[in-house]
Structure 1
Amino acid sequence: MSYIRFRKHYLHLPYLVLGILEFAVLFGIFSFLTVFLAMLGGHAAPAKTDLVAALLFALILSGGTLAMGGYLAMAKESVSLIFFRTLVAYCFVGGIGLTLLYGVMPQADPGSANLFWAVLLASLLVILIRLVFLRLVDSEQLVRRVVVFGAGPFAASLLDEYQRNMRALGIRIIGCIAEAPGGVVPDEHRIPTPYDFYQFCREHKVSEIVVAQQERRRSEGGWLPVPELMECKLRGIAVTNGVDFYERELRKVKLDMVHPSWIVFSEGFKASRSRDFAKRLVDLALSLALLVVMSPFILLTAVAVFLETGRPILYSQTRVGMLGREFRIYKFRSMRQDAEKDGKARWASANDNRVTRVGAFIRNTRLDELPQIYNVIRGEMSIVGPRPERPEFVSELREKIPFYDTRHYVKPGLMGWAQLKYPYGASVDDARGKLEYDLYYSKNHSLLMDFLIMIQTVEVVLLGKGVR
């Protein structure tokens, strides 16, 4: 098994091991430099506070890597991009974190020269470790070999996702076994139905069978080799439902494979009063802290909007919240006053000419969303959750997209899982893609997952991802 599930969130073991190894390297480099430089200067051995400083150094730089999406992203990037992302994570994001830390704990500051060498050595060594890691995780000795049972659209979709994303996770799909004549999977990816499933898996070192049938009813030609699959499972080969495989590996729910029974009998989608109470306390604490920290930016943004286009500075819209309740959401106005002068709701488009110059900047930096702190304090929104949509769009989307209303059983948020994983949504197809991530969040959300989303949103803000 190459994953663990912690607090309902799947963690891939190779990347978890990499994170722990990098943390140890960061801690070791800082500790070594502290001891080495102390010996050169003829000083006494470092005190316990130096070990605490090393721990905090490793923690902040590891957090910078997580914030910049430095783990799963690196498997799809070139060496130069890995180098760039590591430097941004350590020198910029980590640098800001360390500056704030040393402002509060000056005794932990090793000095600018020492800090420079620590960050430089850490960056070079971590990049080397990551390059070696990518070679290892992609080697035939360590990859998980998977066979798909099915050759219809579901299986074809899984193969497409595999080519784009799953190879980075150390998975090899060796082929698809058709459960019925026909299908859409190309012949080069098909495997003849084996006479003995277990022996086939042993010969080809298959560790998992993913059942991704398009139709299971015998009347339509589909079949499921239950005795053979039972034998494989009982003899140590994992047998996984296609929708669960998607959820585990890609952290989303494949909408076309979901049935109402899956939602009803799933482990997730559980309401919890204690979790809701804890989430509300965290929302209040973070929103009040954000209000204090961001107050200068709020003031500057208000002045900039007023100087460019005058009043109104704020813009409000009706959005659909938890359990379908409507509320008013607030933003700094980033479009012209006549953006919807005909009263018709429109999706934002790429290079939308309704966006002002100041508006483009505050949308890229997410400063236009700051007034929604007020919505969080009022309890209409949370810090983390699916983004609330306009009623006009909701009416259309719930008719065209199955299970769309499931996202309304979780309080909407300032930031969300879909915003991290999917580009800006401005069509029905985009709404379907985002719903697959919103469903995953609705099923598995926890305070830990909220915390991870908050950290990784730093990359979205810094790089201006998903903005129109």
Structure 2
Amino acid sequence: MSDHSNNNNSWHLSIVERKFLLLWCDFIIVFGAIFLAVILRSTISMDLFLQRGYFGIIFLYTSLTVAIFYIIDLYNIFLIDFWTSIVPRIFIGVALTSLLVIVSSFFLEFLALPRKSIVFMSVVIILGMMLTRYYLMIVKRYPLNIMVLGSGFAALKMIEDIKKSGSAYFHIIGIYDDDDRKHGKEVMEIPIRGGIESFAADIKELRPQMVVVSFEKEIKETWTDILLQCARSNVQVSSAVDIYCKLFGKVPSDHIDALWLLSGIQLIRKPYFIFKRFCDIIFSLIGLFIMLLIFPFVFVIMKITSPGPIFFSQVRVGLNGSHFRIHKFRTMVVDAEKRTGAVWATKGDNRITAFGKFMRKVRIDELPQCWNILKGDMSIVGPRPERPEFVDMLKERITFYDERHLVKPGLTGWAQVLYPYGNTIEDATEKLHYDLFYIRNMSVFMDMKIILKTIATVIGGRGGM
């Protein structure tokens, strides 16, 4: 990753220029796909096509499509996993594009395409976008050249996780630090190339696209001046914490302060929370209806296999540390904690009934929580609510653990879809990193993404223990 040979063949475009290139390629692909789909099934001559301004309409629809791609984050150059991050977004974007064309066909006759033409258009767009990105990211491997300023813990954590990811897209040129004792040494095979003089020279010679700043102490004015020059030269300057969040979808809680976290939350607007509450009410009503449909079957099977109460309720910690009682279908034997007290469930836990294992796998044991959502104790998406006994213990041992209660807990969450079930302090710490990322980046799109990932998890049979 620190090899100079990588840099010699580098793609010397700034981050903004890379985004624009991808956007322009997508525009050509989408415009061409819609035009071909229309012209191949249409009896309209090219002259008439031009006279009626159909090119202008296709141009407008292409612009709307590219706007959709932008909204769903397809021009985020920090998406490092081609198959799990980029390809799903392409499919979602193309599905929305096809829906836009279908709806528009009711008002514009020339867009009334048969199913074969819509499939053709969708396939052309998907293949075109995938091949473009695959060529640039994997075949040519044009790296994003990064210089790291300072050797703070956040930068080292970023480098460590980039190396673990195995991505060749991010090329760390070197680390630059004021401490003369570190010069000439290596950190995880990345050379510490020198101080401010080396940095100034390498900026001109190696032409990075990004400078990541991670000083353990306050940044010096001399560094600030040169960073301003970088910004004026279209070199993106970012903190190691911000880049780490963009790359890995989680917050390194050991390397942030409360102000950083709270400032992000305050940027989230009230309309989002109003819309989210509206969706919570709709989804919870649908969930309760589904629960009523399956309740007779659950009732009969539970009475046969594990006599006792159908429902299980337990106190959990919610918004701002308030307590509420959560409701679930019972999946464990009656009085499961009578002898042990409050303990986390473990893999192969013999307290879980046979039918309980099935319900946890397909998540139907969670359906009664729709009542909690309807009441306003919970939301569809948010950090999972934890028990007060565990919260008190975890607050003492994990920095910023209490900050996860700044938002309503959820039926599903960012940590749940990205991290497997865990029952240790280390697992709770790692999940908190994902929860804090969600709290700082809450949006309608992110909620949709989590819901879709949850559905995929349930369909794939990768539900709870």
TM-score between both structures, scaled by the size of structure 2 = 0.72
Tell me what 2:245 maps to: 247
Q: Deviations over 1:162-189 (max 9, x none)?
A: 1234837x43222222443469934644
Query: Is the 2:362–2:463 Cα contact (8 Å) retained in structure 1?
Result: no
Distance 1:353 1:24 in 2: 58
For residue 211 of structure 2, give the secondary structure of its aligned residue in structure 1: strand
Tell me what 1:229 maps to: 224
Which residue, 286, 290, 295 being the options, matches 1:289? 286
Which residue, 439, 444, 452 being the options, matches 2:441? 444
Task: State how 1:144-159 maps to structure 2 within 5 Å.
Answer: 145-159=145-159
Instruction: For structure 2, list consecutive stretches of 5 or more residues without a partner in the other structure.
Output: 1-13, 44-48
Query: Is the 2:173–2:190 Cα contact (8 Å) retained in structure 1?
Result: no
Shift of 1:130: 5.3
Q: Deviations over 1:337-363 (max 9, x none)?
A: 353231512222233333333322222
Distance 1:455 1:20 in 2: 28
Distance 1:351 1:109 in 2: 55
Query: Is the 1:197–1:232 Cα contact (8 Å) retained in structure 2?
Result: no
Shift of 1:267: 4.3
Once the two structures are overlaid, the 10-residue window that deviates more, 255-264 or 182-191, is 182-191
TM-score between both structures, scaled by the size of structure 1 = 0.72
Q: Deviations over 1:298-318 (max 9, x none)?
A: 554444444432332222221
Tell me what 1:219 maps to: none
Query: Is the 2:176–2:199 Cα contact (8 Å) retained in structure 1?
Result: no
Instruction: Give the 3 Å change call, closer, same or farther, for CA 72–412 of structure 1 in structure 2.
Output: farther
Distance 1:22 1:228 in 2: 38
Which residue, 214, 231, 238 being the options, matches 1:212? 214
For residue 139 of structure 1, give the secondary structure of its aligned residue in structure 2: coil
Query: How many residues are treated as equivalent by the alignment?
Result: 423
Structure 2 counterpart of 1:171, one-letter code = F
Distance 1:292 1:27 in 2: 43
Distance 1:297 1:125 in 2: 44
Structure 1 counterpart of 2:325, one-letter code = R
Instruction: Give the 3 Å change call, closer, same or farther, for CA 457–24 of structure 1 in structure 2.
Output: farther
Tell me what 2:256 maps to: 258
RMSD: 4.7
Structure 1 counterpart of 2:157, one-letter code = S
Structure 2 counterpart of 1:206, one-letter code = P
Which residue, 135, 139, 162 being the options, matches 2:138? 135
Instruction: For structure 1, list consecutive stretches of 5 or more residues without a partner in the other structure.
Output: 4-11, 40-44, 217-222
Structure 2 counterpart of 1:260, one-letter code = A
Query: Is the 2:151–2:176 Cα contact (8 Å) retained in structure 1?
Result: yes
Distance 1:229 1:173 in 2: 21
Instruction: Give the 3 Å change call, closer, same or farther, for CA 440–127 of structure 1 in structure 2.
Output: closer
Tell me what 2:426 maps to: 429
Shift of 1:131: 3.4
Identical counterparts, % of pairs = 31
For residue 314 of structure 2, give the secondary structure of its aligned residue in structure 1: strand
Shift of 1:209: 2.1
Q: Deviations over 1:144-168 (max 9, x none)?
A: x111123354332111111234837
For residue 377 of structure 2, give the secondary structure of its aligned residue in structure 1: coil
